[in-house]
Amino acid sequence: MLNVSRFDFGQIRALRRFRDADRRIRERTDQAARVVCVASGKGGTGKSVVATNLAVLRARRGEKVLLVDFDSGLANAHLLLGLAPAHDLGDVLDGRVRAPDAVVEGPAGVHLLSGGVGQPALCNPTRRELDRLYRALEPLEKEFDLIVVDHGAGMGYATITQLAATSTMLIVANPEVTSLSDAYAIYKRALGVNATIRAGLIINRAPDERSALGAREKFDDVAQRFLKNTPEFVGWIPQDDAVGRSVNLRLPACLSDPDAAASRALFAVAAWNGLDCARTSSAFFRRARRALR
């Protein structure tokens, strides 16, 4: 006859607590990657250089980082990383290769999914094409700690649906009034599709601190006046010849010249805690698919 004592019940309750705790740990471990969207209102702001260096710097911290180049048919992240991927987003969209098989490893352990160069479907994708692409990209979220999405300039369909899906975005602007105006436009659009989005502002290629802080003040004044909201100021990056040299070397400045002024600024930007908290309630690409409807 089975003798079930109070001690037995205590053991059972302890085992159940252990099992429940273990399940919660596994669920946290299996969470989808954090996703940060890097965008700018116009081309030529140095957005891709910033996104590439941020991804590399986070990878150097021990995170498994994926950089997705979502520039619509005009991708250049592979050039900045000195890579020549055999496959890109266009191949994933057309079903020629699985998304994980299109990912390549780059310097400092960063991973890249290259954008399509000259791919018409990526320049102006339909809702159905984006739905198919987002579905194909979903498995990547289980493989990485952080995904940095480098968007093309402007407000294309892919950019807007992903801004609607993300919890966190970085806006890269230059001190010029035209750049600030376009950056404000994409910030306004992001808030329109995602009222809870956490946005950070980076002033890139500033001649000095005074001009960078002045640009930030101009942006904030307009945003507060018309949107009743302002992005966090993540930092500013000085105009630096080391960046141009790094592009020609096809190696991010944070690796080719870590003591350069721009590199030191990028180290500070990469420490923004928004990158640590960029998690959504459900998988990013699944949310992006819902935003298509």
pLDDT in tens, 66-107: 999 998 667 899 999 999 999 999 999 999 999 999 999 999
Q: Which residue has the tokens 């040299």?
A: 245
Q: How confident is the model at residue 2 (pLDDT cuts 50, 70, 90)?
A: very low
Alpha-carbon gap, residue 85 to 78, rounded angstroms? 7
Alpha-carbon gap, residue 201 to 230, rounded angstroms? 9
pLDDT at 293 (0 to 100):
78
**Hey, what amino acid is at 7?**
F
Alpha-carbon radius of gyration of the chain: 21
pLDDT of 256 higher than 80:
yes
The secondary structure element, H or E, covering residue 8 is helix 6-29
The secondary structure element, H or E, covering residue 232 is strand 232-238
pLDDT at 79 (0 to 100):
96
Alpha-carbon gap, residue 267 to 276, rounded angstroms? 15
pLDDT of 209 higher than 90:
yes
Alpha-carbon gap, residue 78 to 211, rounded angstroms? 31
pLDDT at 41 (0 to 100):
83
pLDDT at 161 (0 to 100):
96
The span from the first CA to the last CA of the chain, in angstroms, equals 62
As beta bridge partners, residue 113 has: 68
Alpha-carbon gap, residue 33 to 224, rounded angstroms? 32
DSSP of 162-219: HHHH-SEEEEEE-SSHHHHHHHHHHHHHHHHH-TT-EEEEEEEEESSHHHHHHHHHHH
pLDDT tens-digit map of 38-76: 999 888 899 999 999 999 999 999 999 999 999 866 789
Q: How confident is the model at residue 30 (pLDDT cuts 50, 70, 90)?
A: low
**Phi and psi for 11 in degrees, rounded to 5?**
-65, -40
- Total-model pTM: 0.88
Give the chain's domains with CATH numbers: 32-291 (3.40.50.300)
Q: How confident is the model at residue 19 (pLDDT cuts 50, 70, 90)?
A: low
Over residues 114-126, the mean pLDDT reads: 77
Q: Are 266 and 237 in contact (CB under 8 A)?
A: yes
**Hey, what amino acid is at 258?**
P
The DSSP secondary-structure symbol of 140 reads G
Alpha-carbon gap, residue 153 to 27, rounded angstroms? 36
pLDDT of 154 higher than 90:
no
Q: Are 123 and 73 in contact (CB under 8 A)?
A: yes
SS3 state of residue 147: strand
Could you count the other beta carbons within 10 Å of the beta carbon of residue 173? 29
> How would you class 84 by CB atoms within 10 Å of its CB: exposed for 0-12, middle for 13-18, buried for 19 or more?
exposed
